[in-house]
């Protein structure tokens, strides 16, 4: 049984950003009424940037609330944080003004193995289930090849079930990236999948019709609530 989730369509980019901000801030507020920390994993790419810029500018959350949010990353390129390729570096350009806690995935000074070990221990602060961290919310994007996180088509990482985080060889990009594995994405308490643009919507429609097998479809194996928030 494929648990696809529910779909929220915005009429334009402005509404899409507002819906994402409203849903994200409501979820953080609701969760912080029940627990002292909010464990959030955000993706790279351009999508989270526009959402967090608006979220910060419009003061959806107080500093008191932000102090209880712990940011993790879904995936990362193996570059220094001051590289324009760095998901952490790009996000921190605006997130740094928040009194939240940030856990970067990759530190060029440490190198791959030590960065991986450091992130694996950072993930231990999060309550665990089935040996994997139980995020309160994961924000995911999707590439135009149907990848999510750094789980790309034909990459070995699609089948990773032992480690919560690992380095995936991505032959299509001739590159390697650190990424959370599907067992972590599948058991998050909730996922928001944020899509913008006609090409991505058509991929989403193909997936709903069951016509193609894209990496992101592995999310359908999870019983957790998934919200596809999109606009053309």
**Binding of ligand 6PG by 153 (CB under 6 A):** no
CB neighbourhood size of 52 (10 A): 21
Element (H, E) at 92: helix 87-95
Tell me the backbone φ, ψ of residue 184, rounded to 5 degrees: -75, -45
Q: How far is CA 90 from the centre of its chain?
A: 14
Q: How big is the site for ligand 6PG, counted in residues (CB under 6 A)?
A: 15
Which of 218, 229, 183, 190 has its CA nearest to residue 6? 229
**Binding of ligand 6PG by 143 (CB under 6 A):** yes
Question: Please, which residue, 104 or 150, has the CB nearer to ligand 6PG?
Answer: 150
**Binding of ligand 6PG by 225 (CB under 6 A):** no
Q: Which of 141, 146, 157, 183 binds ligand 6PG (CB under 6 A)?
A: 141
Q: Which of 19, 27, 38, 75 binds ligand 6PG (CB under 6 A)?
A: 75
Which segments within the chain are labelled E, that is strand?
Answer: 6-9, 38-42, 69-73, 75-77, 101-102, 128-129, 132-133, 137-140, 165-170, 175-180, 191-196, 226-231
Q: Nearest approach, Cβ of 142 to ligand 6PG (angstroms)?
A: 6
Q: Nearest approach, Cβ of 91 to ligand 6PG (angstroms)?
A: 10
Q: Which of 24, 123, 149, 184 binds ligand 6PG (CB under 6 A)?
A: 149
Stretch that binds ligand 6PG, among 38-46, 99-107, 128-136, 211-219 (CB under 6 A): 38-46
Q: How far is CA 141 from the centre of its chain?
A: 7
**Binding of ligand 6PG by 87 (CB under 6 A):** yes
Please report, as ranges, the residues that interact with ligand 6PG according to CB under 6 A: 43-47, 74-75, 87, 141-143, 147-150
């Amino acid at each position: 049984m494929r648990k696809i989730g529910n779909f929220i369509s915005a009429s334009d980019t402005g509404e899409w950003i507002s819906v994402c901000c409203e849903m994200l801030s409501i979820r953080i507020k609701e969760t912080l009424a029940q627990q002292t920390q909010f464990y959030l994993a955000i993706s790279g790419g351009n999508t989270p940037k526009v959402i967090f810029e608006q979220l910060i500018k419009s003061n959806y959350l107080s500093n008191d609330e932000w102090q209880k949010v712990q940011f993790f990353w879904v995936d990362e390129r193996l570059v220094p944080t001051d590289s324009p390729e760095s998901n952490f570096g790009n996000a921190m350009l605006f997130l740094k003004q928040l009194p939240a806690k940030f856990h970067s995935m990759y530190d060029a000074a440490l190198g791959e193995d030590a960065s991986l070990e450091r992130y694996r221990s950072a993930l231990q602060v999060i309550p665990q289930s089935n040996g994997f961290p139980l995020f309160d919310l994961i924000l995911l994007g999707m590439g135009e090849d149907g990848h999510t996180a750094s789980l790309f088509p034909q990459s070995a990482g699609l089948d990773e079930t032992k480690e919560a985080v690992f380095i995936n060889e991505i032959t299509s990009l001739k590159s390697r990236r650190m990424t959370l594995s599907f067992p972590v994405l599948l058991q998050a308490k909730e996922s928001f999948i944020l899509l913008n643009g006609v090409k991505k919507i058509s991929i989403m429609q193909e997936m709903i019709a069951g016509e193609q097998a894209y990496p992101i479809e592995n999310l359908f194996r999870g019983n957790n609530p998934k919200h596809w928030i999109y606009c053309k």
